[in-house]
């Protein structure tokens, strides 16, 4: 069996829903028991952790914890970030995540499959990671977003999903 990519990595997971924090921790540790996970349930707690520590990967909810504000801080510190959302699942939030240099935009509906997405964030560079994400989630986004979601983002997602 191959070594889990998340083993020996340090993650920060930020969400205002305690059950999401617990689920993420359980899912990651089931696959990578040596992963170190810090959790924050508020913007203030997350900001303090981001400023005081170094992370291999940061997972940020968008709503409830000022996720885009935290994304700016994490990117400034050169941390790889995956945005995770249910309520902000829109083409505009997808584009904003991309433009602000998040490495991924993940729907909470895919939480059960989070580990491979997080491994991709750690494995691929920015552009290749987004291409891989769109290959995996293009159909999901087509089902959830309005028909012209790709045009609204101003990015050529169809080309990326090939």
pLDDT tens digit sequence for 3-34: 899 999 999 999 999 999 999 999 999 999 99
**68-116: pLDDT as tens digits:** 999 999 999 999 999 998 877 888 899 899 999 999 999 999 999 999 9
pTM for this model (two decimals): 0.92
Specify the CATH number for 10-160; select among 3.10.350.10, 3.40.50.2300, 3.40.50.261, 3.90.950.10: 3.40.50.2300
> Quick check: 9 and 31 in contact, CB under 8 A?
no
**103-150: pLDDT as tens digits:** 999 999 999 999 999 999 999 999 999 989 988 888 888 888 866 677
Query: Taking the domains of the chain in order of start, what are their residue ranges?
Result: 10-160
């Amino acid at each position: 069996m191959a070594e889990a990519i998340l083993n020996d990595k340090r993650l920060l997971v930020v969400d205002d829903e305690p059950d999401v924090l617990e689920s993420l921790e359980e899912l990651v540790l089931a696959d990578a028991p040596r992963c170190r996970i810090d959790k924050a349930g508020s913007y203030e707690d997350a900001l303090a952790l981001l400023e005081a520590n170094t992370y291999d990967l940061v997972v940020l909810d968008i709503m409830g914890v000022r996720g885009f504000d935290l994304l700016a801080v994490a990117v400034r510190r050169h941390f790889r970030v995956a945005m995770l959302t249910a309520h902000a699942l829109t083409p505009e939030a997808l584009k904003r995540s991309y433009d602000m240099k998040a490495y991924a935009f993940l729907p909470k509906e895919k939480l059960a499959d989070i580990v491979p997405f997080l491994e991709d964030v750690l494995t691929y560079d920015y552009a290749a990671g987004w291409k891989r994400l769109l290959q995996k989630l293009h159909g999901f986004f087509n089902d959830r977003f309005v028909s012209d979601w790709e045009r609204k983002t101003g990015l050529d997602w169809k080309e990326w999903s090939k």
